[in-house]
Chain A
Amino acid sequence: MTIRKLLLSSLLCTVAFGAQAQTLKIGLESDPDALDPDKSRTFVGRIVFSSLCDKLIDVTPDLKLVPQLATGWTISEDGLTMLMTLRDGVKFHDGSVFDAEAVKANIERSKTLEDSVRKSELSSVDRVEVVGPLEVKLHLTTPDAPLLAQLADRSGMMVAPSAFGGDFGAAPVCSGPFKFKNRVSQDKIELEKFADYWNADAILLDGVSFLPIPDSTVRLANLQSGDLDLINRLGATDVGTVEADASLAFTATTGIGYQGITFNTTNGAKSETPFGKDARLRKALSLAIDREAINQVVFSGLNAAASQFVPPASPYFNPAYPAPSRDVEAAKALIAEAGFAGGVDLELQVPNRPENQQVVQMIQAMAAEVGINVTINAKEFATMLADQAAGNFESSQVGWSGRIDPDGNIFGFVTTGAGFNDGKYSNPEVDALLKEARTTGDEAKRKGLYFKANDLLQADLPLFYLYHESWLYGLSNKVQGFAASPDGMIRLEGVTKSE
């Protein structure tokens, strides 16, 4: 009898301990590219990095910068030096030590590696000086306020110098809570808990697997069948299904990105159109759109109507420009004023994804009511990007996943010659304001500059904003402690999975 009790209790103990060793299975909407922070360009890549590679700086849900591998930072008066103190006792996944030399090596790699795509993000960094074993000084060529935010993303991800060279992306060695175990491209990425993680107490999972499943219906089916524990990019129309299922839960947060319409104002022959040349027509189209209706119909009310390049939660949001409501009379008046009371045509290109197409179809119907005849050009994404860069478009429905620093949401899109400015909009006043906003870390001062730039942009309207996307997640009830973040990253500190 006693022996049986003993056996039973030891069996229960084993089961109990066994139940604590859990791997979280996360479904992503596409397969990440190379797992090398200096080469990676995909959004889903960043999600994997959240578990794999720690950064110098991290971000809170209210978009404040907080220490991760760096414990503190001070910027000199002239903005040309940044002193960072580093965390002690941090190891890389291969056991090597994280220190100031490692930071220097990382930043230099990001700047000098032949196919690094981080160069422009660190362009202001001239050199890195090792001041002490846990202290580095970054010497900048020009003050760079967005640099801190860059160090809270891939540019600040610290990889083990001992693993440089060779095919790093195939077997990454970082210092995050989980280390790389295995990857089969387009099938899965498996990570296992890193025992020597500096914050190991906060990690309550044994491992995490990322499975790319592009079709959202199939991704949801996997969640329902228990083959996945958490899915990224839950479809807005699937939220009802998740909420109705007793074994599943739904959580969401407003993202820092946006979707909008960009106009070709000065890029080649296709800019010589009424809409390309007259801001009144662009304004009329914006006024013809009922953003809330689009939100309700296409996204079940889960997104937020947008008016500017930052979401309402951002400290840089200008309340003077709330999301415009539909105003058919005002739109018609502007069109008449511009001389097109009889009707005006517009080509609108859109990626051939279901949600984007639904949005654009609604816009087409709404625009028709004010006399704007929209022709929709659905294009495959790569073709659309190429056409945009070449100026082969009149208007385009495009979005941006968003960056923590406001500069990341606007500079590249409206300054003269910038990488994402496909409409080739150019306003020297806007350029000057946005450049100056990069040079100071003073939030109040930057706010003033962004407000002024926003005034000019709202008048010129080279692009306008439709909505801020929310990040929607479906999860199994077995998963506890997960909180969505506005930057769309999946942070696993404190997350548990029960049996």
Chain B
Amino acid sequence: MLTHILHRVLVAIPTLILISIFIFALQKLLPGDPVLALAGEDRDPETLDRLRELYGFNKPIWMQYLIWGKGVLQGDLGISIRSGIPVTEMIAQKLPVTLQLAAMSMLFAIAIGIPAGIISAVHKGTKTDYVANVVALSGLSIPNFWLGIMLIMVVSVKFKLLPASGYVPPSEDFWLSIKTMIMPAFVLGTGLAAALMRHTRSSMLTVMRQDYVRTARAKGLRERVVIMRHAFRNALTPIVTLIALLFGELIAGAVLTEQVFTIPGFGKMIVDAVFNRDYAVVQGVVLVTAIGFILMNLMADIAYVLLNPRLSGR
């Protein structure tokens, strides 16, 4: 088990390097001069040249990458050329926000998706199954930003139940923090719940056809025990994979949802950084997101082994 984890960590390093090179190259391919993009309202040519010199944009691309890479090894992810704030500080400010949104969204998704999937599978072919499928399809089809704006209009503007946008850290005011996150988490969560529900349903159906489930029933066990202890537990493997992947995506930042609800998370940060040609910020966010994905997948692997001891030991 430990060797397995170590092996995965070692493989992660070249993966991260490749990803960072790829993203760096992509950014440089984008049309647009970062200094001009920054310049905003003041465009004195002398100033622009001086800034290019200062930020090293006149150096060859590979050298710019190596300078960045060297900084990373020393724990310095560079600074945002737009705001002058160190990238590590920006990430430290926004990672907890993104993680909170991701966690709450995942909670909604799991709380809605998995039970819906189980019920749907157990009542396959009935009205319940049909309704659940329609709701799932709607969840997948409704665009996040539309749902978000509609919720703001109804919940915040009309009924004034929740704040329309913004973010408050839980350390400052726990309940207000939850309140600011409920709508965005719900919007994100419903989309994911739909995917989870479909996966849970098909996984359950596969498992419920197995012989051991028939045996469990034949043994006279209560239906609830058969479903939850025998079927569901074994159906979990693909569901756990999906949850890990989805969580990784959530860490990457829900761009549209964050934009609509003005949540200062990763999604908003990376979009602004790309438009501003703020290389260091994009590199930093991609790196952290990639690490997040790799970690999530690793945890999924560990979860498999815990769920199904037969998967360990090679």
Smallest CB gap from A45: residue in B: B40
- Once A218-B152, A401-B41 are accepted as A-B contacts, the answer to whether A383 and B31 lie under 8 Å apart by CB is yes
- Once A41-B41, A186-B269 are accepted as A-B contacts, the answer to whether A227 and B93 lie under 8 Å apart by CB is no
Cross-chain contact B264 with A185 (CB below 8 angstroms): yes
How far apart are the CA atoms of A317 and B40 in the complex, in Å? 26
Cross-chain contact A185 with B156 (CB below 8 angstroms): no
- Once A188-B166, A215-B260 are accepted as A-B contacts, the answer to whether A167 and B84 lie under 8 Å apart by CB is yes
How far apart are the CA atoms of A401 and B41 in the complex, in Å? 8
Cross-chain contact A42 with B31 (CB below 8 angstroms): no
Q: How far is the CB of A135 from chain B (nearest CB, A)?
A: 30
Smallest CB gap from B277: residue in A: A382
Is B58 in contact with chain A by the CB < 8 A criterion?
no
- How many chain B residues sit at the interface, stated as a range, is 35 or more
How far apart are the CA atoms of A115 and B57 in the complex, in Å? 14
Is B13 in contact with chain A by the CB < 8 A criterion?
no
Write the residues of chain B forming the contact surface with A, with a CB cutoff of 8 angstroms.
30-34, 36-47, 50-51, 54, 82-85, 90, 93, 149, 152-153, 156-157, 160, 163-167, 259-262, 264, 268-269, 272, 275-277
Residues of A within 8 A of B46 (CB): 119-120
Known: A117-B39, A383-B30. 14 other contacts (CB 8 A): A33-B38, A115-B50, A120-B44, A169-B83, A169-B85, A185-B90, A186-B268, A186-B272, A211-B166, A213-B262, A218-B149, A222-B166, A225-B164, A419-B42
- 25 chain-A/chain-B pairs, Cβ below 8 angstroms: A31-B83, A33-B38, A34-B84, A39-B84, A115-B50, A117-B39, A119-B44, A120-B47, A170-B84, A185-B264, A186-B264, A187-B167, A218-B260, A221-B153, A222-B156, A225-B152, A226-B160, A380-B32, A381-B37, A382-B37, A385-B33, A386-B36, A387-B31, A389-B33, A419-B44
Smallest CB gap from B263: residue in A: A187
Q: How far is the CB of B102 from chain A (nearest CB, A)?
A: 17
- Once A34-B83, A188-B166, A214-B259 are accepted as A-B contacts, the answer to whether A419 and B37 lie under 8 Å apart by CB is no
B32 touches which of A185, A186, A218, A382 (Cβ 8 Å)? A382
Residues of B within 8 A of A33 (CB): 38, 40, 82-84
Smallest CB gap from B261: residue in A: A218
Cross-chain contact A218 with B93 (CB below 8 angstroms): no
Residues of B within 8 A of A381 (CB): 37, 275
Residues of A within 8 A of B262 (CB): 187, 211-213, 218
How far apart are the CA atoms of A304 and B240 in the complex, in Å? 60
Cross-chain contact A42 with B152 (CB below 8 angstroms): no
How far apart are the CA atoms of A3 and B139 in the complex, in Å? 60
Residues of B within 8 A of A36 (CB): 84
Cross-chain contact B44 with A42 (CB below 8 angstroms): no
Q: How far is the CB of B64 from chain A (nearest CB, A)?
A: 18
How far apart are the CA atoms of A322 and B160 in the complex, in Å? 48
Q: Decide if the interface of chain A is mainly helix, strand, loop or mixed.
A: loop
Is A240 in contact with chain B by the CB < 8 A criterion?
no
Is A315 in contact with chain B by the CB < 8 A criterion?
no
Q: Which 6 pairs, one residue from A and one from B, show the smallest C-beta to C-beta distance?
A: A187-B264, A382-B37, A41-B40, A120-B44, A382-B32, A225-B156
- How many chain A residues sit at the interface, stated as a range, is 35 or more
How far apart are the CA atoms of A420 and B43 in the complex, in Å? 7
A412 touches which of B36, B43, B153 (Cβ 8 Å)? B43
Q: How far is the CB of A266 from chain B (nearest CB, A)?
A: 16
How far apart are the CA atoms of A336 and B63 in the complex, in Å? 56
- Once A186-B268, A227-B164, A382-B32 are accepted as A-B contacts, the answer to whether A217 and B149 lie under 8 Å apart by CB is yes
- Once A170-B84, A222-B165 are accepted as A-B contacts, the answer to whether A184 and B93 lie under 8 Å apart by CB is yes
Residues of B within 8 A of A215 (CB): 259-260
Is A43 in contact with chain B by the CB < 8 A criterion?
yes
Is A114 in contact with chain B by the CB < 8 A criterion?
yes
How far apart are the CA atoms of A313 and B41 in the complex, in Å? 23
How far apart are the CA atoms of A185 and B82 in the complex, in Å? 11
- Once A170-B84, A211-B262, A213-B262 are accepted as A-B contacts, the answer to whether A386 and B31 lie under 8 Å apart by CB is yes
How far apart are the CA atoms of A380 and B164 in the complex, in Å? 28
Q: How far is the CB of A497 from chain B (nearest CB, A)?
A: 18
Residues of A within 8 A of B85 (CB): 34, 169-170, 185
How far apart are the CA atoms of A43 and B40 in the complex, in Å? 8
- Contact residues of A between 367 and 386, Cβ < 8 Å to B: 380-383, 385-386
- Contact residues of A between 277 and 319, Cβ < 8 Å to B: none
Residues of A within 8 A of B36 (CB): 382, 385-386, 389
Residues of B within 8 A of A214 (CB): 259
Is A22 in contact with chain B by the CB < 8 A criterion?
no
Q: How far is the CB of A282 from chain B (nearest CB, A)?
A: 23
Q: How far is the CB of A386 from chain B (nearest CB, A)?
A: 4
- Chain A, residues 26-58, CB within 8 Å of chain B (1/0): the string is 000001011010010111000000000000000
- Once A41-B39, A184-B264 are accepted as A-B contacts, the answer to whether A169 and B84 lie under 8 Å apart by CB is yes
How far apart are the CA atoms of A412 and B47 in the complex, in Å? 14
Q: How far is the CB of A185 from chain B (nearest CB, A)?
A: 6
How far apart are the CA atoms of A362 and B157 in the complex, in Å? 34
How far apart are the CA atoms of A385 and B54 in the complex, in Å? 21
Q: How far is the CB of A383 from chain B (nearest CB, A)?
A: 5
How far apart are the CA atoms of A276 and B34 in the complex, in Å? 28
